[in-house]
Structure 1
Amino acid sequence: MAFEELLDKVGGLGKFQILQMALIFPSLMIVVCHSLLENFTAAVPGHRCWVHILDNATVSVPEKCRRFLHPQWQLLHLNGTFPNMTDLDTEPCVDGWVYDHSLFSSTIVTEWDLVCDQQSQKPLIQSLVMVGTLAGGLIYGHLSDRFGRKLILRWCLLQLAISGTCTTFAPNIFIYCLLRFLSGCSIAVVIANNCVLIIEWTRSQSKGMVVTLVYCALSIGQMILGGLAFVFREWRTLQLVVSVPFFVFFLSSRWLAESSRWLIITNKPEEGLKELKIVAHRNGMKNVAETLNLEGLRATMQEELETAQTKTTMFDLFRTPNLRKRTYLLFFVRFAGAISFFGIIINLQHFGSNIFLFQVIFGVLTISVRCLALYPLNKVGRRPTQMFFMFLVGLSILINIFVPQDMQTLRVILASVGISCVAASQTSFSVHQTELLPTIVRAKASGLDLLANRCGAALAPLLMALAVYLPTLPWIVYGVCPLIAAPVLLLLPETKNLPLPDTIQDVENK
């Protein structure tokens, strides 16, 4: 916790932190587009069987996935009024499909015919991207603790730029899935390491505000995606537009400052001192920059430097009782919240046809509620704020189950309440989690947190397969999860206005 003293001297929220955020926020805004890209690139348009002997712009078919076995000429003169057709013989769409291109000129669904018997491939693709983020969080979380947040972040920015751009030219669904998996591996780390590089340079009193700004940047990314998808209706073009900027982000990331906290804790005090002097100079603390020296740093952080002699692993999160308890509980709460969030955000077509507008509305609402959540977060505390929002999430989803499909406005309002509250609860959770976990294993814990988040994210689209047995069953699961997770938060300590723990011993001493 001694690093907080050093941070107060050099400036815990000043010009340096603002410049750091200015470099980081653009990449956060665009990376969220990659997470939700399949809402548009894999949108399922209206479709019906191709009937080669008729005018496929006007021909009628009994349903989306079957056609009449023999031509039914009499149906052409009924002006849309159909007799009982249950006795007429039908067959699957053996000659392909006709798609409605009024919303999208092309999606991966229309290009590779991911409908009818192949419709389950869409949630599998969405799950595969989330599995990629899961794998990336585990692998790169470990590498970030070993080689630094900045180095691994720059690698992932480049990897996302290359894999995303190559996806534009994918010749088949297999190559597309492989490249999207690689993109997913980078998405998790771009978000996590950017957040860490901001939070670890921010004083305790301002961390809630900074985390809220980070999540607002992600919400702005949702709005940007809605606008870009509205302008670029062809999936390859949209894919390219959200991928090329990462080459620029890779180049600009060279000006990011590595976490001095991490440098000191990993026994690199000279490099950490250099970064502290740069921060002090940029924040106008020139006198402090001149007085900072290695001896003073060693004296201030003697206990942390001694602890740094021992290399840490993911297993250190489970060796001691207090940290183990926190890790398990945080994992469960994040998992439950992720199921609800992704259950709503990747099923935009469930609420109506204007998914461009829904994407923008959800982005605007999540920004508003995340900013509003800052007040109870700082005044009331981390735990009660999270519990309140998670309760509202579950309630709004479960109520929506009983709203008829034709009451679309009410359904969209309830979905908006759900997505807003789950976004606010995630913001509160991220602040709480950062303050519960020690610096020396925080990146590894972030990897585990991403594991929980992406397990929930990967499971959310797959749960839609339960609709075969009961159409409301997936939504029951989405609603019940946050209601179960809310009371679990009572088992975690309150951390409002407390300094960040630097070592595992700091956690055990509480």
Structure 2
Amino acid sequence: MAEFGEFMKILGEFGPYQKLVILFISLPLLLNPFQMVGQQFMVLDVPHHCDTSWIRAVGPNLTEEEQLNLSLPRGADGAYEQCRRYSPVDWDLDSIRTYGLNATEECRSGWVYPAGQPPSLLTEFDLVCNRKNLNDISQSIYMAGLLFGAIIFGALSDRIGRRPVFLITISLQGLFGVGAAFAPHLYVYMAFRCVVGAAVSGILITALTLATEWVGVSSRPKAVLISHCFSAVGQMALAGVSYGVRNWRLLEIAGNAPMFILFFYIWVLPESARWLVTKDRIEEAKKVLQKAASFNKCTIPPELLEQLKAEKQTKSGSILDLFRNKHLRKVTLIMSLTWFADSLVYYGLSLNVTTFGLDIYLTQLAFGAVELPARLSCIFLLEWFGRKKTQAVLLLLSGLMCLIITGIPEDQSVVITVLAIIGKFTATASFSSSYVYTAELFPTVIRPTGAGLCSMSARISGIMAPLIRLLGEFHQAIPMALFGSPPVLVGLLCFLLPETRGNELADNTGAATPQPGSKILEDLSKKDITEDGADLKKDIYTSLETKL
């Protein structure tokens, strides 16, 4: 029986066909930032005050300035208060002018915003004063959708395939994302956003899986991180589009409608040949492999195709196996905490783009600009310094940047923004490193379960990040202190993990750590060299022996 890796050797580990597949699965990631942080540009603060039209019944000829002066209290700075008004009374206008009003109350009749202001999520749904927390709650509900999507679509892709789940999720994002632009009520908007979050999570999971399964072993980090770079480009695109489109409904459409252009994926997006083989759908796998070979201008020997069969099923691992084995227990706990800290600091910085003091569009552009080199640099950092040191140092630096920001005076907006950009760079690189490191630390039989558990941990901190921002009402430094402390602590724990650079992946839970490449040679040497495909196997054996 032919090993699937032999087909990847013939196709090329990262040939033209695989590059085209990576392009297809990466295009939807361009719109990912519009969902993750786009809402921050829909709730920009605008001047507002309580609706005091009640006084018009008493003095219909009052000018706007007279109306505000009689019906709104002033703060210590002399400006009209935005969230309180004088309580309505049954007096005549002369009495109000003579004696004045003293009793105040919260805005009970809504708010008034500047005329000519483009429609925003803030002004349409009154996300101000005692309702401003609904903005962060809405963002947490979106993050909860990401969690649900990780649970639902991860298992579904193993059951019905990567391709149909990818098509379903891009359709869901397009439909419910555009639908959110027409939401008549905030709670309808939240519900639609939750579904969009689930769809985005499904896209991320299946994109990672397809990128991993369509390339050779040595090209997997490159394929995964290149697809991540499309998200970085989307970050920069978000800054430009949100600057030009101030109407929140149009911005919502701009961030989701392009998904419908990807309808042609029905005809061009391939299924994972590796997954088809595991499901014993051999004829379909052969067609997909032959199509890839034709595109790459190579030929798969017919005798090798005949040997393509599903491997004997290895006993599946369960989530309990992650905690029964001492080594796996340590890996699971530390990597779950790593993903938690990665997500917390990443979203903590991303969602605070409006609080750093400089123009938010320039800040967002800078955030996107640093993500691109951050993700690309991981390809080299992981090879030069190893997985453990890279992961630990990047996580430590991202946390330290947040902690340093807490000690910078508020009026030093340039310094704060520079530190935030450095933190965003290291947080992005750390998150990308976690994807590669996690896949190498968990053995084959438990890898999807281990990675899924880590992803759930990240989604939990993603839900918490917007809620932590609410603590800024008590002190500005509290959110950044909470965003920065866990990464520092977890970064130190990462030094307890084993190094996986240059090691073969472990296959079962009995292996303490991933083994060096000699394991492949040992396994291959035990195989019977049959007449069919003998030359190919000998070539592979010779090549491996030479390298070792």
What TM-score do you get using the length of structure 1 for normalisation? Answer: 0.87
Partner Cα separation in structure 2 for residue 91 and residue 346 of structure 1 = 32
Measured after TM superposition, the shift of residue 342 of structure 1 is 0.6
Deviation, 1:126, is 0.3
Deviation at 1:122, TM superposition (A): 0.9
What's the offset of the Cα at 1:256?
1.9
Distance 1:65 1:459 in 2: 27
Matches within 5 A, 1:128-207: 128-207=141-220
Alignment match, 1:18: 19
CA 1:383–1:13 in 2, change beyond 3 Å: closer, same or farther? Answer: same
Which residue among 220, 233, 238 is the counterpart of 1:220? 233
CA offset digits 1:34-86 (Å, max 9, x no partner): 12221112333333333435527995743321234589x9xxxxxxxxxxxxx
Q: Matched residues in 1 for 2:66 and 2:512: separation? A: 67
SS at match of 1:125: helix
Q: Out of 369, 374, 386, which is 1:369 matched to?
A: 374
How far residue 311 of structure 1 moved from its aligned partner, in angstroms, is 6.0
Q: CA deviation at 1:455?
A: 0.7
Are the aligned partners of 1:145 and 1:444 in contact in 2 as well (CA < 8 Å)?
Answer: no
Is 1:292 aligned with 2:297?
no
Distance in 1 (alpha carbons) for counterparts of 2:507 and 2:266: 26
Which of 421, 426, 429 lines up with 1:424 in the alignment? 429
Structure 2 residue 11 is matched with structure 1 residue 6: no
1:454 and 2:489 aligned = no
Equivalent of 2:83 in 65, 76, 79: 65
Please name the residue that 1:307 is paired with: 313
Distance (Å, rounded) in 2 between the aligned partners of 1:58 and 1:358: 39
**Distance across 2 between alignment mates of 1:333 and 1:55:** 56
Structure 2: which amino acid aligns with 1:126?
Q
Q: Aligned AA for 1:189? A: G
Residues 134 and 455 of structure 1 are in contact (CA less than 8 Å); yes or no, is this contact kept in structure 2? Answer: yes
Q: CA distance change for structure 1 residues 261 and 91 in 2, over 3 Å: closer, same or farther? A: same
Distance 1:346 1:446, change over 3 A: same
| Distance apart, 1:114 and its partner CA | 1.5
Q: CA deviation at 1:211?
A: 2.3
Q: 1:356 & 1:347 partners in 2: Cα distance?
A: 12
Q: Of 98, 106, 109, which residue of structure 2 is paired with 1:92?
A: 106
* Partner Cα separation in structure 2 for residue 42 and residue 313 of structure 1: 44
**Aligned mates of 1:264, 1:23 — CA distance in 2:** 22
Partner of 2:350: 345
Q: Secondary structure at the match of 2:493?
A: helix
SS of residue matched to 1:262: helix
Question: Residue by residue, what CA displacement relative to the aligned partner does 1:413-445 show, whole Å, maximum 9, x if unpaired?
Answer: 011011111001111111111223355554444
Q: Give deviations 1:444-494, integer Å, cap 9, x for gaps.
A: 444433312211110011112223443312211101011011122223322
Which whole-Å CA distance do the structure 1 matches of 2:228 and 2:42 have between them? 24
Matches of 2:113 and 2:430, distance apart in 1: 39
Give unmatched runs, 5+ long, in structure 1: 74-86
Residues 166, 226 of structure 1: alpha-carbon distance in 2 compared, 3 angstrom cutoff: same
> CA contact under 8 A between 1:133 and 1:184: conserved in structure 2?
yes
- The amino acid that maps onto 1:194 is A
8 Å contact from structure 1 (residues 438, 507) kept in 2:
no
| Alpha-carbon distance in 2 for matches of 1:394, 1:264 | 43
CA distance in 2, matches of 1:57, 1:429: 60
Cα distance change of structure 1 residues 55 and 208 upon mapping to structure 2, 3 Å threshold = same
Deviations 1:328-370 (A, max 9, x none): 3221110111111111101211113622221111000111222
Match of 1:235?
Answer: 248
TM-aligned CA deviation for residue 14 of structure 1: 0.8
User: Secondary structure of the residue that 1:292 maps to in structure 2?
Assistant: helix
Q: How far has the Cα of 1:26 moved from its partner?
A: 1.5
Equivalent residue number for residue 397 of structure 1: 402
1:110 corresponds to which residue?
123
Which blocks of at least 5 consecutive residues in structure 2 are unaligned? Answer: 57-62, 76-80, 94-100, 516-548
The worse-fitting range, judged by mean Cα deviation, of 187-196 and 365-374 is: 365-374
Go from structure 1 to structure 2 and tell me whether the alpha carbon gap of 1:11 and 1:501 turns closer, same or farther (over 3 Å shift): farther
**Which residue identity is paired with 1:98?**
V
The residue number in structure 2 matching 1:81 is: none
Matches of 2:14 and 2:204, distance apart in 1: 21
Give percent identity, aligned residues only. 29
Q: Structure 1 residues 19 and 474 mapped into 2: Cα distance closer, same or farther (>3 Å)?
A: same
Per-residue deviation, residues 277-312 of structure 1 (Å, max 9, x unmatched): 3323322221x35443232x34xx7xxx2225x566
Question: Using a 3 Å threshold, how does the CA distance of structure 1 residues 51 and 509 change in structure 2: closer, same or farther?
Answer: closer
Give 2:83's aligned amino acid: C
Distance 1:100 1:262, change over 3 A: farther
Higher relative contact order (CA 8 A, sep 6+): 1
CA distance in 2, matches of 1:437, 1:336: 19
CA contact (8 A) 2:25 2:207 kept: yes
Partners of 1:479 and 1:97 lie apart in 2 by: 36
Contact 2:367/2:421, CA 8 A, preserved across alignment: yes
Residue 208 of structure 2 aligns to which amino acid in structure 1? Answer: C
3-state DSSP class of the match of 1:67?
strand
Describe the SS at the equivalent of 2:183: coil
SS in 2 for 1:306: coil
Q: Is 1:41 the counterpart of 2:42 in the alignment?
A: yes
1:275 to partner: Cα distance: 2.8
SS, match of residue 313 in structure 2: helix
What residue is the counterpart of 1:79 in the other structure? none
1:194 CA displacement: 0.9
Q: Residue 293 of structure 1 aligns to a residue in which SS?
A: helix
SS of structure 2 residue aligned to 1:91 = strand
Deviations 1:163-208 (A, max 9, x none): 1111111111111111111111101111121121112212222222
The alignment status of 1:478 with 2:478, answered yes or no, reads no
Task: Tell which deviates more after alignment, 382-391 or 89-98.
Answer: 89-98
Equivalent position of 1:80 in the other structure: none
Distance in 2 between residues matched to 1:500 and 1:263, nearest whole Å: 22
Q: Given the superposition, is the C-alpha separation of residues 270 and 470 from structure 1 closer, same or farther in structure 2, using an over 3 Å criterion? A: same
Deviation of 1:31 (Å): 2.5
Give 1:88 shift. Answer: 5.9
Query: Matched residues in 2 for 1:268 and 1:314: separation?
Result: 28
